[in-house]
């Protein structure tokens, strides 16, 4: 931790809620280098060759442990692509916290492309939290293009919380999941774009096994002149159930394209999608103003609640 | 406490400009329970919204506790102590009942304080406090939460637009009890209710009959109620509900 400066600590706080070295297994990456790493008896973190990422092995049956793998970038002009592979043993039950914070005060673009792959064993349960955050006043862009691949074996569950609320100029998020029998995927995505930002978020979830299910919900707010494309797709190849929902608030001159799609290749696949885009209802603002908030305060409360 | 001086409100319609409130003058005292009744479309809800600043008056002046509030917006009037409970409360995705009560109270009230307000309106607090004020709540639940937001504010003037609409018989009786309790405040609070219901008219200090944008009659309960009882201006909600059941 000695290598981390104040800006990096601030980023770490934003993306991982960490004030200090976390308990359990962790890998901290700062400006393209490892700033700290710890394995535990059940969770082993090993670097890939040439510093291109890490392998995380979680022993079968590991319960109530956590892995933190935050990344911070505070050097302008740094571009990196990192491959992190998680191998989760059968019956494990763990929390994984990832996320990336970029502070760019310079003129060159900073970019972190994290490719995360999860191989989740039978009946394992994973809670995955990923937060992305950008700060800094420079002209250089803060770019994050995460790719997440999830392979869920029989009876396993993965709950994903994906949050990008502030400061990321450009993002292309791709999430792919394949589910075997009785596997379950829950996704809660929260996106807010402002200024001239652009965000593309695509999900492709394939339900291959009988009894598998997916619930993918994206809530987003596009402010100022920002642009979002939300592409949520579920394929049902078995007796499965899938639900996607994208619910967006549009403000100022923001633009949103929502493309929910469903493909059923089995007569027993039950798939539903919902999509809604709209501005904040005038009645909501008026109600909060009658409680004493100004219009701007009312707007903030509504957005904060919506993205909570 | 409140003076409406020659206020009017015109709105645009398909047939040109129509007058909804027509040169009304009215004085409301502190520490009163006042009910406005009258036919549908007579301007009752509009009058309530003009007082809260939700709609702007076209002509006239509104004075609240000695301050001219004619040009004040909704927020400024709210901060002076005017509360407004909507006939059809709005839903919020993501905001919880606790969030809404904290906004209403204007401070970070504790969970147990928030629970007290919910218990007042007959909701089992622990079941509701963390719930979102969204489509999962029924109209009746929403209405009770709306009333709780007024209880959480220490208002001088509490305006209720058809508070009985959409609530069941049990909570209707509870509502009467809430009004009686609210009136016992020490700040001289006045409660202004828009309603046709006999049971609410029955506890009024003063009744105002509004029709076609004008005040048809205004006076004490004993003066007005005998003349309008049994008419559409004063119907018995309990009889009606039991007949429907």
Give the whole-angstrom CA distance, residue A292 versus residue B101. Answer: 12
Alpha-carbon gap: B245 to the closest alpha carbon of chain A (Å): 33
Alpha-carbon gap: A186 to the closest alpha carbon of chain B (Å): 18
Residues 6 or more apart in contact with residue B145 via CB below 8 angstroms? B89, B97, B100, B118, B121, B123, B128, B133, B137
Q: Is residue A307 domain-resident?
A: no
> Are B77 and B67 spatial neighbours (Cβ–Cβ below 8 Å)?
no
Does the beta-carbon distance from B94 to A307 stay under 8 Å?
A: yes
Q: What is the pLDDT of residues A147-165, one digit of tens each?
A: 999 999 999 999 999 998 8
- Give the pair of three-digit tokens for residue B116: 């007290």
> Are A179 and A209 spatial neighbours (Cβ–Cβ below 8 Å)?
yes
Q: Is residue A35 domain-resident?
A: yes
Strand order in the sheet with B59-64: B16-28, B2-13, B59-64, B67-68
At residue B241, the pLDDT reads 45
**Residue reference for tokens 């250089």:** A140
At residue A76, the pLDDT reads 82
Does the beta-carbon distance from A305 to B99 stay under 8 Å?
A: yes
Confidence of residue A1 (pLDDT cuts 50, 70, 90): very low
What is the distance of C-alpha B109 from the center of its chain? 24
Let me know if A10 is exposed, middle or buried by CB neighbors in 10 A (0-12, 13-18, 19+).
middle
Query: Among partner residues A283, A292, A307, which is closest to B75 by beta-carbon distance?
Result: A292
- Give the pair of three-digit tokens for residue A72: 């911070």
Query: Among partner residues A290, A293, A304, which is closest to B84 by beta-carbon distance?
Result: A290
Which positions in chain A touch B100 (Cβ < 8 Å)? 291
pLDDT of A291 above 70: yes
Alpha-carbon gap: B231 to the closest alpha carbon of chain A (Å): 33
> Are A47 and A78 spatial neighbours (Cβ–Cβ below 8 Å)?
no
The model carries a pTM of 0.84
Map chain A to HEC letters: CCCCCHHHHHHHHHHHCCCCCCCCEEEEEECCEEEEEECCCCEEEEECHHHCEEEEEECCCCEEEEEECCEEECCCCCEEEEEEEEEECCCCEEEEEEEEEEECCCCCCEEEEEEEEEEECCCCEEEEEEEEEEECCCCCCEEECCEEEEEECCCCEEEEEEEEEECCCEEEEEEEEEECCCCEEEEEEEEEECCCCEEEEEEEEEECCCCCEEEEEEEEEECCCCEEEEEEEEEECCCCEEEEEEEEEECCCCEEEECCEEEECCCCCEEEEEEEEECCCHHHHHHHHHCCCCHHHHHHHHHHHHCC
Alpha-carbon gap: B170 to the closest alpha carbon of chain A (Å): 26
- Give the pair of three-digit tokens for residue A236: 């049902």
Q: What is the pLDDT of residues A13-53, one digit of tens each?
A: 777 776 666 678 998 888 888 888 999 999 999 998 876 88
What is the number of structural domains in chain A? 1
- Any CB–CB contact under 8 A between A163 and chain B? no
Q: Is residue A289 domain-resident?
A: no
Higher pLDDT, A189 or A2: A189
Most confident of A294-303, B113-122, B139-148: A294-303
- Give the pair of three-digit tokens for residue A240: 């499965």
What is the distance of C-alpha B86 from the center of its chain? 7
Segment A69-93 shows an average pLDDT of 90
Q: Is residue A306 domain-resident?
A: no
Contact residues of B toward A, CB < 8 A: 52, 54, 73-75, 78-79, 82-84, 86, 89-90, 92-96, 99-100, 103-104, 106, 149, 153
- Give the pair of three-digit tokens for residue B143: 């209405």
Q: Is residue A100 domain-resident?
A: yes
Q: What is the pLDDT of residues B39-95, one digit of tens each?
A: 888 899 999 999 999 999 999 999 999 999 999 999 999 999 999 999 999 999 889
Does the beta-carbon distance from A291 to B89 stay under 8 Å?
A: no
- Give the pair of three-digit tokens for residue A253: 């001159």
Q: Is residue A137 domain-resident?
A: yes
Domains by residue range for chain B, with CATH: 2-244 (3.40.50.300)
Domain, as residue range, for A145: 6-283
Alpha-carbon gap: A283 to the closest alpha carbon of chain B (Å): 7
C-alpha gyration radius of chain A = 20
Which positions in chain B touch A294 (Cβ < 8 Å)? 75
Interface test with A, best of B103, B107, B157, B161 (most A CBs within 10 A): B103
C-alpha torsion sign, points A18, A20, A22, A28: positive
Q: Is residue A223 domain-resident?
A: yes
C-alpha gyration radius of chain B = 18
Alpha-carbon gap: B209 to the closest alpha carbon of chain A (Å): 26
Segment B178-205 shows an average pLDDT of 88
Does the beta-carbon distance from B103 to A247 stay under 8 Å?
A: no
- Any CB–CB contact under 8 A between A251 and chain B? no
Q: Is residue A294 domain-resident?
A: no
């Amino acid at each position: 931790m000695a290598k981390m400066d104040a800006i990096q600590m601030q980023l770490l706080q934003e993306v991982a809620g960490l004030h200090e070295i976390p308990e359990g297994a962790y890998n901290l990456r700062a400006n393209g280098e490892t700033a700290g790493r710890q394995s535990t008896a059940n969770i082993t973190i090993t670097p890939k060759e040439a510093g291109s990422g890490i392998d995380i092995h979680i022993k079968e049956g590991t319960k109530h442990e956590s892995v933190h793998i935050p990344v911070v970038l505070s050097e302008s002009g740094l571009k990196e692509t990192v491959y992190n592979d998680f191998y989760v043993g059968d019956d494990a039950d763990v929390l994984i916290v990832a996320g990336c914070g970029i502070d760019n005060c310079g003129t060159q673009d900073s970019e972190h492309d994290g490719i995360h792959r999860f191989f989740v064993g039978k009946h394992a349960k994973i809670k995955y939290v990923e937060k992305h955050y950008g700060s800094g006043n420079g002209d250089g862009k803060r770019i994050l293009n995460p790719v997440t691949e999830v392979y869920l074996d029989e009876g396993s569950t993965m709950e994903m919380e994906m949050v990008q609320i502030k400061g990321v100029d450009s993002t292309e998020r791709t999430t792919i999941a394949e589910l075997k029998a009785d596997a379950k995927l829950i996704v809660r995505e929260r996106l807010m774009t402002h200024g001239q930002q652009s965000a593309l978020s695509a999900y492709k979830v394939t339900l291959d096994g009988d009894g598998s299910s997916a619930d993918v919900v994206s809530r987003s707010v596009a402010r100022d002149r920002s642009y979002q494309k939300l592409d949520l797709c579920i394929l049902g190849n078995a007796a499965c159930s899938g639900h996607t929902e994208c619910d967006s608030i549009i403000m100022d001159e923001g633009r949103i394209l929502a493309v929910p799609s469903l493909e059923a290749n089995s007569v027993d696949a039950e798939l539903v999608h919902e999509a809604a885009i709209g501005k904040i209802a005038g009645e909501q603002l008026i109600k909060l103003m009658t409680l004493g908030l100004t219009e701007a305060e009312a707007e903030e409360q509504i957005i904060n609640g919506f993205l909570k | 406490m409140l003076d409406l001086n020659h206020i009017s409100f015109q709105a645009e319609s398909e047939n040109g400009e129509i007058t909804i409130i027509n040169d009304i003058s009215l004085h409301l005292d502190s520490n009163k329970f006042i009910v406005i009744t009258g036919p549908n479309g007579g301007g009752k809800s509009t009058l309530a919204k003009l007082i809260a600043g939700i709609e702007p008056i076209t002509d006239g002046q509104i004075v609240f506790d000695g301050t001219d509030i004619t040009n004040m917006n909704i927020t400024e009037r709210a901060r002076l102590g005017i509360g407004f409970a909507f006939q059809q409360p709005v839903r919020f995705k993501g905001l919880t009942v606790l969030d809404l009560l904290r906004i209403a109270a204007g401070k970070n009230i504790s969970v147990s304080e928030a629970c007290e307000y919910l218990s007042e309106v007959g909701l089992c607090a622990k079941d509701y406090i963390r719930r979102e004020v969204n489509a999962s709540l029924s109209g009746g639940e929403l209405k009770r939460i709306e009333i709780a937001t007024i209880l959480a504010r220490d208002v001088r003037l509490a305006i209720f637009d058809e508070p009985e609409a959409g609530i069941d018989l049990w909570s209707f009786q509870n509502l009467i009890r809430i009004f009686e309790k609210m009136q016992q405040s020490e700040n001289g609070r006045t409660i202004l209710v828009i309603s046709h219901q006999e049971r609410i008219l029955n506890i009024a200090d003063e009744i105002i009959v509004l029709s076609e944008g004008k005040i048809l009659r205004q006076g004490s309960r004993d003066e007005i109620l005998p003349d309008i009882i049994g008419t559409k201006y004063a119907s018995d909600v309990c009889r009606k509900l039991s007949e429907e059941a």
